[in-house]
């Protein structure tokens, strides 16, 4: 059953287009400014006489700047997160991180070659001397090792072998790596202290990165948890392997969460409770309680079924932009696969639409796996939502969001048949990556404008 509607609730802030532009422009300006600092320090002139050292200086400066940018990208700054969405921020963070590590490796090689040439020594001997005799270099070496470990475990093949909780814990070493690199940069990096402008820039950049982490990844969650004090109210089985957790707390009408968003959750019960796990709200927030729903896909989600009423719940968030704020028109078409129904179920409750203006495609292997079927049919009867259940095995001959029984008809042709005016709908999608990609391709071929397609990939 749908939860009662509250008389007052804090609305989720709107997504402002200029936030995205301002964040991107700031990042590019920082890179250009770093290059300008290198040029002003005779970087171009020194390329002719000492190429390796000068190029090493530039790669080191760019690596440090990108390292701070990737910290800012995942600092959970609300207006940045609302502009890009967590999946896009994660993608940019990953690209920036790998680029920063590659530049760091180039910096180490180039600087060692340059110093070895100047000292007329062997490369290995020079590398050892740099690490053991230069101020801050031992700390920098430890920081480089930490960053390297983060980079290796972020490669897709490595991520598949790690649990989300383990990967997330290892990823926190990026902060340690950035912190350990700072003494070396300040003590031996001439480009960091060559002028008052350079010194002010780097101290400001480090302070901004550290401040963002402390405020938005530590301070804000602590404050919100102290204010709302969430606890488990009850745990309800939905389908085999799927449970919903209902949570109550204080002043939930002042928690700025919207349907379609998610939190990173920790439940104070049993060993490993400090490891966070992301789960979407699965019912429209009503100011009285929250509901999350999860499928048993590993230890983090499996332990939800064992929670007892009264268990304290700690959260970070809300995150995500798969909300009403990105909607362009009145009609909506929603595509959910499996447990991906959770944010869309909440959106169907919260979004305003007239009977017949909302359509839902719900994909599952069999009827028993359809999560929220009774609630969805109640919504269909009460609000006129059109529902298409897509049941059956997947096609092995092609990548499709439809069951195998629809082959060989093209996906977009089926979509146009089921929703003739699909191009006039806002399309919301949530499901596995390959399935989501198939839906997006089908919507594009059916004529849905790019700015009317809304999705977030929650795979880490």
Tokens, residue 230: 């969430």
282 near 372, Cβ under 8 Å? yes
Q: How far is CA 47 from the centre of its chain?
A: 40
Tell me which fold the domain 232-319 belongs to: Elongation Factor Tu (Ef-tu); domain 3 (2.40.30)
pLDDT per residue as tens, the chain (460 positions): 444 434 345 555 566 666 677 778 888 999 999 999 899 888 888 887 889 989 988 998 898 899 889 888 888 888 887 777 777 787 888 888 889 888 988 988 898 898 888 878 888 887 788 777 777 677 777 777 777 777 776 666 656 666 666 666 666 667 777 777 777 776 666 677 778 888 889 889 989 999 999 999 899 999 999 999 999 999 999 998 899 999 999 999 999 899 999 999 999 987 778 788 889 999 999 989 999 999 987 776 788 999 999 999 999 989 888 999 889 999 999 999 999 999 999 999 999 999 999 999 999 999 999 999 999 999 999 999 999 999 998 877 788 999 988 878 899 999 999 999 999 999 999 999 889 999 999 999 999 999 999 998 755 4
pLDDT at position 444: 96
Tokens, residue 7: 């008389």
Alpha-carbon gap, residue 443 to 384, rounded angstroms: 23
Alpha-carbon gap, residue 180 to 393, rounded angstroms: 51
Q: Which is nearest to 333 in space by CA: 439, 456, 457, 459?
A: 439
Alpha-carbon gap, residue 7 to 42, rounded angstroms: 65
Tell me which fold the domain 327-455 belongs to: Rossmann fold (3.40.50)
- How many CB atoms are located within 10 Å of the residue 175 CB? 16
User: Which residues, in sequence order, are bridge partners of residue 244?
Assistant: 236, 293
Alpha-carbon gap, residue 68 to 250, rounded angstroms: 36
Alpha-carbon gap, residue 151 to 148, rounded angstroms: 5
pTM: predicted TM-score of the whole model, two decimal places? 0.80
């Amino acid at each position: 059953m749908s939860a009662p509607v509250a008389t007052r609730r804090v609305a989720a802030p709107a997504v402002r287009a200029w936030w995205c532009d301002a964040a991107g422009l700031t990042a590019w300006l920082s890179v250009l400014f770093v290059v300008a600092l290198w040029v002003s320090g005779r970087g171009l002139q020194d390329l002719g006489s000492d190429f390796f050292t000068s190029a090493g200086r530039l790669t080191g400066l760019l690596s440090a700047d990108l390292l701070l940018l990737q910290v800012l990208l995942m600092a959970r700054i609300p207006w940045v997160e609302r502009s890009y969405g967590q999946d896009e921020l994660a993608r940019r963070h990953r690209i920036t991180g790998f680029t920063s590590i590659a530049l760091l490796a180039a910096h180490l090689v180039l600087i060692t070659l340059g110093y070895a040439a100047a000292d007329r020594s062997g490369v290995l001997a020079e590398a050892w001397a740099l690490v053991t005799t230069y101020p801050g270099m031992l700390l920098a070496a430890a920081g480089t090792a930490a960053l390297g470990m983060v980079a290796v475990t972020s490669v897709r093949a490595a991520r598949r072998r790690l649990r989300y909780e383990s990967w997330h814990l290892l990823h926190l070493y990026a902060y340690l790596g950035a912190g350990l690199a700072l003494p070396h940069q300040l003590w031996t990096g001439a480009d960091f202290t060559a002028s008052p402008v350079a010194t002010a820039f780097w101290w400001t950049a480090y302070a901004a990165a550290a401040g963002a982490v402390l405020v938005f990844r530590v301070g804000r969650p602590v404050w919100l948890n102290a204010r709302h004090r969430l606890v488990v109210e009850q745990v309800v089985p939905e389908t085999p392997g799927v449970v919903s957790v209902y949570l109550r707390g204080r002043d939930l009408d002042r928690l700025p969460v919207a349907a379609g968003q998610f939190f990173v959750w920790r439940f104070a019960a049993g060993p490993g409770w400090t490891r966070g796990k992301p789960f979407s709200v699965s019912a429209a927030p009503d100011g009285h309680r929250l509901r999350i729903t999860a499928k048993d896909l590993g230890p983090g989600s499996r332990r939800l079924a064992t929670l007892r009423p009264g268990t304290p719940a700690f959260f970070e968030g809300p995150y995500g932009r798969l909300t009403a704020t990105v909607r362009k028109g009145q009609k909506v078409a929603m595509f959910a696969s499996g447990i991906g129904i959770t944010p869309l179920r909440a959106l169907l409750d919260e979004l305003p639409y007239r009977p017949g203006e909302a359509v839902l495609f719900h994909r599952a292997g069999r009827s028993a796996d359809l999560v929220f079927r009774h609630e969805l049919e109640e919504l269909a009867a009460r609000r006129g939502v059109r529902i298409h259940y897509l049941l059956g095995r997947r096609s092995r001959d092609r990548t499709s969001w439809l069951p195998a029984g629809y082959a060989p008809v093209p996906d977009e042709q089926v979509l146009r048949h089921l929703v003739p005016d699909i191009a006039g709908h806002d399309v919301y999608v949530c499901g596995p990556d390959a399935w989501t990609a198939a839906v997006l391709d089908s919507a594009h071929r059916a004529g849905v404008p790019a700015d009317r397609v809304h999705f977030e990939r929650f795979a880490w």
